[in-house]
Amino acid sequence: MDLFIITSFTKNITRIDLIGILLGHFIFAVALTQLLDWNWLKKLMSEEDKTRMLKSYTWKDLLVDGAIITVILGIIFLIISIFL
């Protein structure tokens, strides 16, 4: 039953609406990033821990990170393709 609600919703939304929604979310994300104080991130790890972690980073870790980013982008494009 929920599938029919989603498909009827996608018939009513236009590309302009979708672009507006995505652009609005992007503007909100940039504004929120600028408003929040991110200085606490620097205090999470000491310089020694950061150096040790970066030295132990291998090509396998890079491959896993790339795979995670690819899956996330694929899901985003799948959601966008539903609305187009």
Q: How many domains does the chain have?
A: 1
CB within 8 Å of 83: residues ≥ 6 apart: 10, 13, 18
Residues whose CB falls within 8 Å of the CB of residue 18, separated by 6 or more in sequence, listed in order: 80, 83, 84
Please tell me the distance from the alpha carbon of residue 14 to that of residue 81, in angstroms, as a whole number.
Answer: 12
pLDDT in tens, the chain (84 residues): 455 555 565 667 777 888 888 899 999 988 888 888 777 777 888 888 888 888 888 889 889 999 999 999 999 888 888 776
pLDDT at 11: 66
**Cβ 82 vs Cβ 10: under 8 Å:** yes
Is the pTM higher than 0.75? no
Give the pLDDT confidence score for residue 3 in this predicted structure: 52
Residue 36 has what DSSP assignment?
S
Range of the domain at 65: 2-83
Give the Cα separation of 65 and 81 in Å (integer).
24
